[in-house]
Amino acid sequence: MKNYLSRISVVVAVFLYTVAHVSGQNNVKLYDPSLDGMKQIKEAISQAKNSGKHVFIQYGGNWCSWCIRFDGFVKADTGLMRIINQSYIPVKLNYDQTNRNDAANEFLGNPSRFGFPVFIIINGEGRVIHIQDSGLLEEGQGYSRQKVFGFLRNWTPQAVIPRKVENK
């Protein structure tokens, strides 16, 4: 009987841990399903044009564990945050059952075909210049800092529009 109760206790503990872990993930609200994606994009393009930056769209949803993982990964790395803050206007574009942002998805060139999250870079003129499949930035159960940093660095305005060198 003692062995039986011990096993039941372990099963209950594992169950409660799992429920707490899953519910905690569902409480993360990075994306706002009430926002109009096209309006978000147009506002970000205007800001990018005025600031000389590009728009960095993270397209995903609160249901997406890899979306939440990416957000935490970037926020924990000061170097990644620095390059985003210096070179990009960040946007979190929602995709879920209540708001798929179909017009935005079409405008962006159907990036949802890559799965979620997917990253889109738009220049200050409103042209999509890159769509990044986030799976190519993964490493093990997370993201590769080297790959993410390389991706972000390679699509900054400075990288895409190099300085003109004067002949003397």
Residue with tokens 């990288």: 159
Q: How many domains does the chain have?
A: 2
Question: Residue 107 maps to which CATH number?
Answer: 3.40.30.10
CA atoms of 133 and 109, how far apart (whole Å): 13
pTM reported for the whole predicted model:
0.82
CA angle 142, 145, 151 (to 5 degrees): 110
CA atoms of 49 and 47, how far apart (whole Å): 5
117 and 76: one domain? Answer: yes
17 and 53: one domain? Answer: no
- What would the pLDDT profile of 123-149 be if each residue is shown by its tens digit? 999 999 999 999 999 999 999 999 999
CA atoms of 21 and 5, how far apart (whole Å): 24
- What would the pLDDT profile of 12-62 be if each residue is shown by its tens digit? 444 544 444 444 456 889 999 999 999 999 999 999 999 999 999 999 999
